[in-house]
Structure 1
Amino acid sequence: MTMKENFIFELGTEELPPKALKKLAQSLMSGFETQLKNAELEFDAINWLAAPRRLAVKVTNLQFNQADKAVEKRGPAVSSAFDADGNATKAALGWARGCGIDISEATRLKNDKGEWLLHKATVPGKTLNELLEGFVKASLKQLPIPKPMRWGANDAEFIRPVHTLITMFGDKVIPVEVLGLSSGNLSQGHRFHHRGKVAISHADSYEAELKEAHVLVNFDERQSSIKSQMTSICTANNAVVKDDQDLLDEVTSLVEWPVALVGTFEEKFLEVPQEALIYTMKDDQKYFPMLDENGNLLPKFLFISNIESKQPSAVIEGNEKVIRPRLADAEFFYNTDKKTSLESRLSSLESVLFQKQLGTLKEKSERISSLAGFIAGKVDANEEHAKRAGLLSKTDLMTEVVMEFTDIQGIMGKYYALNDGEDAVVADALYQQYLPKFAGDELPTSKEACAVALADKFDTLVGIFGIGQFPKGDKDPFALRRAAIGIIRIMIEKELELDFKELAEQAASLFGDKLTNDNVVNDVFDFMLGRFEAHYRDHGVSVEVIRAVEIKKPTSALDFNKRLAAVVEFAKLPESSALAAANKRVNNILSKNSQSSFSDIDKTLLSEAAEISLVNKIEDVAPGVETSFSNGKYSEGLTSLAALQTEIDLFFDGVMVNDENEAIRSNRYAILGRLQSLFMHTADISVL
């Protein structure tokens, strides 16, 4: 057997959960890679492969043997290893036994510090035959399987029953026993096109031989085939399919041999809001809705079959029969819902709890309405529209369509509001209240919609913090982190000058006596500050820059953003490093001084040329800097401070701050205090 060969591991199973397939395969590969590296077995590359009924790992040019290792084991000092008669002591004999040698076989290690017994040996490396079973078991054990299952009379547990196990090094099977299986070279072919087993002749031919059995085991190749077929079909039908990577991954995980086909449905269903039709096609049936170039739904859908049928029309007909009842349900629910206005559904919200301690959805809607009106007044929006949208914001949750298709809440609210004759601004706000739903998602467009979205998020944040249920670790059942990031994005990107604390206080006042956390406003504010780091790090801003601003605790997201932009620009200046260091030195000196405030600088006490020069420079620069800061022109103000660098350097090089004369010392502290107030106005640049 050669020292290096390509290696393939495959575990054949029943159909694996499609949404978990990719993650399982990547985790399996990661586990294998860790095992190989820990064992110091060399290889060129490692890749994962996955299909609905198998997980596989392919290793290129894997080393079969570990290298031999030279080991040294130091024993007791020679002085304590033998007694006066030269006989070995118990300590020496015990060490020799542990090394597997006679005491006479020990060598000596001698250096400046003394002399010790020493045993040198060469430990032969293990082969893959000896190591592989441990690798496989360890890699399978660390897979993210929340609920393993048992099958038959077997004690083995896995995410699905297992049927085949391949561990091939080149053309040789390396014996392994795991999950009740003994390794071999047999894999499973396509469930319909190749019902028997597939004999794999060599690790190199694994993918090709499975392809002959109608299994594209390479996930990326299978997905590429699906995308190519979809593109061809869309071109032929003058249609487009909206990108949906999650759905594409799920469909790729459902088929072994993808064949793309097109089905149709009656045009009458297009009278139903297309979002409801799209939802049921994608979520329930895993179909790809086909749209025209303007984004309007066509009466067609694209689906991926797992068989290459000689009668594709029969496959298409079967899928059309499946989708029609779904679309008919959506049509029926929609027509039924339109008979009842959103406003008349308000009373039904009294029967639905938002949270046990915080009351019903009706109460939440009333709070959102009040807070949305308050926010609208702050941002020059229509208060009545904002209040109306806030009041109706949760009513579509009580409609038949949303109860059936929960992911289109808000969207259906817009359609029903327009049907009821509500103002278009109100209708749009009902849809946009949930935006942004994820990182990079669109934001509400109108100020009224922004007011409702902010009110909803603040109500949830303040309410949940107000009863002491803070997010912990990865547990965030009310998605408070996402809500906070959404608030930050809306305020910054829509340029809304709003105060976090003021909105938190207003939101808290609307809960009456429901809240039990007296510190809720500060807790929400601190939580919001903490979310800035996550938001800006996603945009490539360094932690030091973010924290420099965070220390100032701005209560406005827009103000935080302006300060941060100023610090980013300041950090680019050649003087920034020296000024940051100087600011840190100023802070350190002042922190050791017991004075909490400083008097004005007394020019009559200035004696050193460097301190006179610094004070004059401060007087020259300060007015312009402070005017810039007061006008919110933080970049301009910080940049102007760069003019102080030379005088600051000379001051610290030539002036003793802690002079023996108390008056002179206090005056020099006043100079540093003046410097600190200038530097700290925008951010604490000492952390840069």
Structure 2
Amino acid sequence: MHTESLLIEIGTEELPPKALQSLSIAFADGIEAGLEKAELSFSKLDTFAAPRRLGVLVSDLSAQQADKVVEKRGPAISAAFDGTGEPTKAALGWARGQGIELDDAQRLKTDKGEWLLHKAEVKGQALDALLPEIVSAALNGLPIPKPMRWGSSQTQFIRPVHTVTLLYGAKVIDAQILGINSGRNINGHRFHSSGAIELAHANDYQEALHKAYVIADFDQRKARIRQQLEDAAKHQQAVVDMDDDLLNEVTALVEWPEVLVASFDQRFLDVPKEALIYTMKDDQKYFPLLSQDGQLLPRFAFVANIDSKDPQQVIKGNERVIRPRLADAEFFFNTDRKQSLESRLDSLGSVLFQKQLGTLADKSKRIAELAAFVASQLEVNQAYAHRAGLLSKTDLMTQMVMEFPDVQGVMGMHYARFDGEPEVVAKALFEQYLPRFSGDILPSEPESAAVAIADKVDTLVGIFGIGQSPKGDKDPFALRRAAIGLIRIMVEGQYQLDLLPLLEKATTLFGDKLTAKETEKQVLDFVLGRFRAWYQEQGVDANTVQAVLERRPTSPVDFDARIQAVKAFRSLEAAESLAAANKRVANILAKSEVNIDELNVDHALLSEAAETQLAEQVSQAAVDVNTAVAELDYKTALYRLSELRDTVDAFFDSVMVMHDDPAIRTNRLAILGQLRQLFLKVADISVLN
């Protein structure tokens, strides 16, 4: 069958840069799904995404669907003919529906009976007829929250559309997409290219655009920018501050990237570097340059969208643009320093944290008390933790943070240092927000950890306490992130804290503001549920997590120790057998009517060698297991229990648990109960089976 390359390009006005990649992926996925549904074969599909275009190039695409035979089964023979052999209305109606005479129908015989059958030959449709609907469906499936109209047309899309290119090999496939007739023309760079570019063949796409100063492939543009940035930094004997989000956004803003380096006045370096970096990166999409030891240099790199004949003019223009922004930051910084953080405490009373939960002043007081409580549990400086908690939100009232919200905490740290606060307190004002995202750093000091934990627990208890827990994908107070942050701080920092006392203390601090029932239980369940997602991201099997969740340990460090123990246990040869045995024991005990917790093994009732051996070994293992559990050494506990495998197997092979004699039966249940309780001191490994 004839195959060719197919080019699909939607030429638009500048697309939203932060949405470009998701639009490109969704468009390509939609085209691929449409081609596969239409049963049109192809070898590969390449995507293109630039500020003014979304494109797909499909290689070796069939020009037409393959012809196929479709079997249409009719009524069963017993229903198709009456007792005299005459066709029924059901059979005649089915034949008319297939466009055949009943005599032309075939028969299908299976083990389950016999049916009428018609094998219809279906002619494959041409790509020309199928493609318009495939492209339209892919475009309708794009994630566009706010489509727009342009001109007098009622057509809607994320941005106005100028061209639609549907080119199969050298042939244009006629269609009207988004109100535009398809053709073979594309547009080049807005400034370096004049007029439409006429493509002779779909395979000419990238080369033609490159000549017109457009690098259509997103990854190629990104790699070019990265390399140019690194080369520019190396030339400046500097390191470029280059995060992937900014790199992606800039890649989505330019068609022909050219990296240039500009500078700013040295005096601006008196302002904390975080504020300057925020201004450069978030406001201007510039890349700050740092010294080898991480200090901000008075220079930055930026990505131009033109190959200028006079780059100095472009550089000067960007220097003029950044100067007033840095001057604003300098002004805010100098103005803020005239007032201490402590003096801003009263102003927090004018800002609501949440209508039912009070103001930021109320929240700060709760954080201070709770942070001191956490510090007491950790046996670190309670006064520092309390002070940091009290000042934790004061920098929100500074002009710098009001203008640049992302520097909250950072500016609090700097202002606290200027105010003469202890370094531990200053650092805690920044580290209270850690971790801010997956993989982010954690508080470096226990006092900082105390404030971060207090802030997150206060928010969780407060929001759950007024009945506003996350629903579906809606989580306006970022409670899921707060819960994961709690887990990470405690587990990775090895802070031995029990969640229950923390939740109880936090609830008390809210007074009568909370209206929901069982707030502490709801929050605990929510945090424990986050363990599942956190461990699964690390590749921990869901059953391993569930085995520990069954025991509901309320200390995250304790929870993690159990997880690591169960992971190690599952690698043992005895694990599968003991998991099965635990499940069997759990089922037996569940069906019995005795309270196993109140039973002791009567060694005088032991009559068979296997039960005697198991009773003795369980008793001996209990000493070692209890010692290991007391030290949170759960791995040793499970290793010790794994030594019982042969004895447990022998018991089930030769001993009748449900003996006719009630005393013997109860005694044997007591042995199994003690065995089960030893495993449950770590996890419920029966769920591993």
Encode CA deviations 1:247-272: one digit per residue, 9 max, x unaligned: 00000000011011111110001111
Aligned in 2, Cα 1:628/1:284: closer, same or farther, shift over 3 Å? same
Task: Find the counterpart in structure 2 of residue 654 from structure 1.
Answer: 654
Task: Find the counterpart in structure 2 of residue 194 from structure 1.
Answer: 193
CA distance in 1, matches of 2:625, 2:534: 29
User: How far apart are 1:79 and its partner, in Å?
Assistant: 4.9
Aligned partner of residue 648 in structure 1, secondary structure: helix
| Conservation of the 8 A alpha-carbon contact between 2:263 and 2:319 | yes
CA distance in 1, matches of 2:498, 2:82: 82
Task: Find the counterpart in structure 2 of residue 260 from structure 1.
Answer: 259
Q: Which AA in structure 1 matches 2:354?
A: Q
Task: Find the counterpart in structure 1 of residue 682 from structure 2.
Answer: 682
Q: Which AA in structure 1 matches 2:496?
A: E
Matches within 5 A, 1:105-184: 105-110=104-109, 115-184=114-183
Task: Find the counterpart in structure 1 of residue 415 from structure 2.
Answer: 416
Task: Find the counterpart in structure 1 of residue 323 from structure 2.
Answer: 324
Aligned in 2, Cα 1:645/1:331: closer, same or farther, shift over 3 Å? same
Which range moves more in the overlay, 677-686 or 609-618?
Answer: 609-618
CA distance in 1, matches of 2:291, 2:105: 84
Which range moves more in the overlay, 83-92 or 200-209?
Answer: 83-92
Which range moves more in the overlay, 28-37 or 582-591?
Answer: 28-37
CA distance in 2, matches of 1:62, 1:571: 49
CA distance in 2, matches of 1:84, 1:377: 92
Aligned in 2, Cα 1:115/1:359: closer, same or farther, shift over 3 Å? closer
| Conservation of the 8 A alpha-carbon contact between 2:242 and 2:287 | no
Task: Find the counterpart in structure 1 of residue 458 from structure 2.
Answer: 459
CA distance in 2, matches of 1:82, 1:72: 21
User: How far apart are 1:45 and its partner, in Å?
Assistant: 1.2
Task: Find the counterpart in structure 1 of residue 643 from structure 2.
Answer: 643
Aligned in 2, Cα 1:330/1:611: closer, same or farther, shift over 3 Å? same
CA distance in 1, matches of 2:616, 2:83: 84
| Conservation of the 8 A alpha-carbon contact between 2:215 and 2:255 | yes
CA distance in 2, matches of 1:97, 1:156: 42
Aligned partner of residue 491 in structure 1, secondary structure: helix
Query: Where does the alignment leave 5 or more consecutive residues of structure 2 unmatched?
Result: none
Which range moves more in the overlay, 97-106 or 541-550?
Answer: 97-106
Q: Which AA in structure 2 matches 1:655?
A: V
Q: Does 1:358 align with 2:357?
A: yes
Q: Which AA in structure 1 matches 2:681?
A: H
CA distance in 2, matches of 1:223, 1:503: 47
Encode CA deviations 1:451-509: one digit per residue, 9 max, x unaligned: 11111111100100110111111111111111111111111111111110100100111
Q: Which AA in structure 2 matches 1:314?
A: Q
CA distance in 2, matches of 1:484, 1:112: 58
Q: Which AA in structure 2 matches 1:397?
A: L
Matches within 5 A, 1:429-508: 429-508=428-507
Q: Which AA in structure 1 matches 2:260?
A: L
CA distance in 2, matches of 1:4, 1:286: 44
Task: Find the counterpart in structure 1 of residue 227 from structure 2.
Answer: 228
Task: Find the counterpart in structure 2 of residue 394 from structure 1.
Answer: 393
Aligned partner of residue 57 in structure 2, secondary structure: strand
Encode CA deviations 1:517-549: one digit per residue, 9 max, x unaligned: 231111111111001111111211111111111
User: How far apart are 1:307 and its partner, in Å?
Assistant: 0.8
CA distance in 1, matches of 2:221, 2:200: 23
Matches within 5 A, 1:28-427: 28-82=27-81, 88-110=87-109, 115-427=114-426
Aligned partner of residue 345 in structure 2, secondary structure: helix
Matches within 5 A, 1:664-675: 664-675=664-675
CA distance in 2, matches of 1:493, 1:96: 72
Cα root mean square deviation, aligned: 1.3
Aligned partner of residue 468 in structure 2, secondary structure: coil
Aligned partner of residue 208 in structure 2, secondary structure: helix
User: How far apart are 1:87 and its partner, in Å?
Assistant: 5.4
Q: Which AA in structure 2 matches 1:478?
A: F
Task: Find the counterpart in structure 1 of residue 612 from structure 2.
Answer: 612
CA distance in 2, matches of 1:509, 1:108: 78
Aligned partner of residue 10 in structure 2, secondary structure: strand
Aligned in 2, Cα 1:182/1:683: closer, same or farther, shift over 3 Å? same
Aligned partner of residue 563 in structure 1, secondary structure: helix
Task: Find the counterpart in structure 2 of residue 626 from structure 1.
Answer: 626
CA distance in 2, matches of 1:79, 1:444: 77
Encode CA deviations 1:177-218: one digit per residue, 9 max, x unaligned: 111011111111110011311111211110000111111101
Aligned partner of residue 474 in structure 1, secondary structure: coil
Q: Which AA in structure 1 matches 2:46?
A: N
Q: Which AA in structure 2 matches 1:149?
A: M
User: How far apart are 1:176 and its partner, in Å?
Assistant: 2.0
Which range moves more in the overlay, 174-183 or 397-406?
Answer: 174-183
Q: Which AA in structure 1 matches 2:257?
A: P
Aligned partner of residue 156 in structure 2, secondary structure: coil
Q: Which AA in structure 1 matches 2:343?
A: S
CA distance in 2, matches of 1:610, 1:586: 16
Encode CA deviations 1:138-173: one digit per residue, 9 max, x unaligned: 111111001111111111111001010111111111
Q: Which AA in structure 2 matches 1:685?
A: I
Aligned partner of residue 618 in structure 1, secondary structure: helix
User: How far apart are 1:75 and its partner, in Å?
Assistant: 2.2
Task: Find the counterpart in structure 1 of residue 599 from structure 2.
Answer: 599
Which range moves more in the overlay, 14-23 or 653-662?
Answer: 653-662
CA distance in 1, matches of 2:129, 2:517: 63
Encode CA deviations 1:548-581: one digit per residue, 9 max, x unaligned: 1111111101111111111111111110110111
| Conservation of the 8 A alpha-carbon contact between 2:461 and 2:520 | yes
| Conservation of the 8 A alpha-carbon contact between 2:5 and 2:169 | yes
CA distance in 2, matches of 1:115, 1:631: 71
Q: Which AA in structure 2 matches 1:665?
A: R
Aligned in 2, Cα 1:112/1:529: closer, same or farther, shift over 3 Å? closer
CA distance in 2, matches of 1:111, 1:496: 68
Aligned partner of residue 166 in structure 1, secondary structure: strand
Aligned partner of residue 6 in structure 1, secondary structure: strand
Q: Which AA in structure 2 matches 1:659?
A: H
Q: Which AA in structure 2 matches 1:629?
A: V
CA distance in 2, matches of 1:115, 1:442: 69
CA distance in 2, matches of 1:113, 1:216: 61
CA distance in 2, matches of 1:508, 1:228: 53
Encode CA deviations 1:205-258: one digit per residue, 9 max, x unaligned: 100001111111010111111111111111110011123100000000000110
| Conservation of the 8 A alpha-carbon contact between 2:594 and 2:666 | no
CA distance in 1, matches of 2:80, 2:175: 46
Aligned in 2, Cα 1:426/1:165: closer, same or farther, shift over 3 Å? same
TM, length-normalised to structure 1: 0.98
Aligned partner of residue 116 in structure 1, secondary structure: strand
Q: Which AA in structure 1 matches 2:143?
A: P
CA distance in 2, matches of 1:50, 1:645: 60
CA distance in 2, matches of 1:112, 1:358: 70
CA distance in 2, matches of 1:463, 1:243: 38
User: How far apart are 1:71 and its partner, in Å?
Assistant: 1.4
Residues matched between the structures, number: 687
User: How far apart are 1:381 and its partner, in Å?
Assistant: 1.1
CA distance in 2, matches of 1:98, 1:379: 80
CA distance in 1, matches of 2:431, 2:117: 76
CA distance in 2, matches of 1:244, 1:144: 25
CA distance in 2, matches of 1:579, 1:322: 70
